[in-house]
């Protein structure tokens, strides 16, 4: 959890010290709880996530799903939505990208798609630049809507990420550096996932433990080599198409809003 947050967000300890403990900030407390021999939650039936919107605090226990444990992501978004509503700005589940046009023109777009409906792939369109793929804060400044990505990394669904379809992400996943893989298949210390465009081994370690082709779960259904919601965590700064204005605290001017969804 801590490693993921270190990759996904900018460190704010110095700012915290400057506030002297009196500032307006979100607080998160996560406890692993009892674990089994694989370090997985042993009591998932006792998982609890408490969100206190009056004290800007979230507490979670007996859960390992990132949406419940990586506090600065979706849990922080819930607190930020309330804060934004009270202060007159917006905290949105949106990507943020720059689109190039004639004469060097750059238009920045935010896009609201549900989870697993293409926010990351849209923000990574060839020839364009990415500022974020998941969360955007929007504020009206001097009559102009501006947006900033409060995250510094990507926690993305890895299924169907391939060298052909997602070359820039593929390069980061295979380059020497820092990547966290979750719920993929491991064989000889190499990760494999669904739809990667390469041959997947017939055995290895995955989310059920030791896995072989044809293995069945408690429900009697065949277990895939990797989970359909398997994930990767990378730093945005490692992407070749990161927008040069990514670190601008004033954000970027919003030229349009895109809405999308998944095909049924």
Nearest to 177 by CA among 225, 236, 134: 236
CA dist 214 and 209 (Å) reads: 14
What letters, b where the CB count within 10 A reaches 16 and e where it falls short, cover 166-175?
beebbebbee
Copy the structure tokens of residue 176. Answer: 């020497």
2 is catalytic: no
Question: Contact 168/123 with Cβ under 8 angstroms?
Answer: no
- Out of 1, 51, 106, 117, the active site residue is 117
Tokens of 86: 């009270």
CB 241 within 8 A of CB 128: yes
Query: Cα–Cα distance between 146 and 253 in angstroms, integer?
Result: 4
Catalytic residues: 117
């Amino acid at each position: 959890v801590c490693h993921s947050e270190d990759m996904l967000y900018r460190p704010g300890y110095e700012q915290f010290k400057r506030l002297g403990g009196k500032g307006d900030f979100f607080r998160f407390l996560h406890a692993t709880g009892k674990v089994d021999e694989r370090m997985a939650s042993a009591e998932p039936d006792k998982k609890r996530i408490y969100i206190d919107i009056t004290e800007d605090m979230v507490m979670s226990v007996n859960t390992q799903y990132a949406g419940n444990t990586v506090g600065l992501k979706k849990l922080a978004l819930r607190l930020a939505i309330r804060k934004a509503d009270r202060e007159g700005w917006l905290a949105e589940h949106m990507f943020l990208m720059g689109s190039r046009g004639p004469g060097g023109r750059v238009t920045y777009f935010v896009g609201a798609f549900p989870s697993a409906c293409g926010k990351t792939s849209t923000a990574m369109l060839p020839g364009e630049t990415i500022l974020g793929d998941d969360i955007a804060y929007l504020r009206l400044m001097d009559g102009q809507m501006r947006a900033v990505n409060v995250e510094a990394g990507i926690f993305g669904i890895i299924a169907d990420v391939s060298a052909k379809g997602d070359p820039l992400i593929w390069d980061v996943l295979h380059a020497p550096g820092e990547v966290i893989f979750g719920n993929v298949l491991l064989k000889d210390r190499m990760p494999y996932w669904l739809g990667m465009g390469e041959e997947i081994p017939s055995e290895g370690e995955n989310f059920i433990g030791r896995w072989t082709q044809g293995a069945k779960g408690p429900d009697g259904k065949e277990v895939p080599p990797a989970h359909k919601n398997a994930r990767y965590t990378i730093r945005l700064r490692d992407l070749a198409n990161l927008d040069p204005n990514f670190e601008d605290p004033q954000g970027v001017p919003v030229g349009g809003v895109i809405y999308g969804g998944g095909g049924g």
